[in-house]
């Protein structure tokens, strides 16, 4: 299947968080960061890990790879939390990491560093010209499916079995 021309997005699942006339922001949710776990990140930020599990941090995209976000269920809100419909929210302030360490943060969450970003009209242009596949926002895909299975799950939500995909287009 043709891609968008950027190998960093090959087989990537992006949870879209913001999209308006000014541009778009999404978080990659199926790529564990190769060198970072939550405890390591908390230690770098001088936050005692406390009750936080030492889970992989996700590499959220190529833009600002040092900037952190917590993608979480909408059951939690703090200063700076931005809701994404009724399904989830994201927060990029340290108070959410402190709450997670104390054990009183959101029920389900992913720590993400970096993001995928598009300027005004850029995402729309890519959608018209490149190999994007759009799937509905699905709580099970975000929270219940292992990271390495989210790409397959996103396709399945639209009735596509990834085993049937081919790398080259056919001709009629």
| DSSP string for 87-142 | TEEEE-SHHHHHHHHHT-S-SSEEEEEEEEEEETTHHHHHHHHS--------HIII
Mean pLDDT on 91-104: 96
| CA–CA dist 113, 29 (Å, integer) | 10
CATH of 7-164, one of 3.10.129.10, 1.20.1730.10, 3.40.1740.10, 2.102.10.10: 3.40.1740.10
Closest-CA residue to 61 (of 96, 17, 105): 17
Domain chopping of the chain, boundaries? 7-164
Residue with tokens 């079995």: 161
> With 60 as the cut, is the pLDDT of residue 3 above it?
no
Q: Up-side HSE of residue 86: CA atoms within 13 Å toward CB?
A: 0
* Cα 116 to Cα 14: distance, rounded to the nearest angstrom: 8
Confidence at 14, pLDDT banded by 50, 70, 90: very high
For residue 100, name the pLDDT band (cuts at 50, 70, 90).
very high
């Amino acid at each position: 299947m043709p891609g968008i021309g950027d190998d960093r997005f090959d087989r990537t699942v992006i949870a879209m968080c913001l999209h308006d006339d000014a541009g778009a922001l999404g978080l990659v949710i199926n790529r564990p960061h190769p060198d970072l776990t939550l405890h390591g990140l908390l230690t770098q930020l001088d936050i005692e890990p406390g009750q936080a599990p030492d889970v992989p941090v996700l590499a959220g995209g190529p833009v600002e790879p040092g900037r952190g976000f917590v993608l979480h269920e909408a059951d939690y809100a703090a200063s700076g939390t931005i809701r994404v419909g009724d399904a989830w929210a994201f927060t990029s302030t340290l108070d959410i990491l402190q709450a997670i360490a104390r054990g009183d943060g959101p029920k389900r969450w992913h720590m993400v560093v970096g993001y995928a970003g598009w300027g005004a009209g850029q995402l729309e242009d890519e959608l018209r010209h490149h190999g994007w596949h759009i799937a509905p926002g699905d709580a099970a895909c975000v929270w219940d499916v292992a990271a390495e299975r989210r790409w397959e799950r996103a396709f399945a939500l639209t009735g596509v079995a990834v085993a049937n995909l081919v790398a080259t287009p056919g001709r009629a």
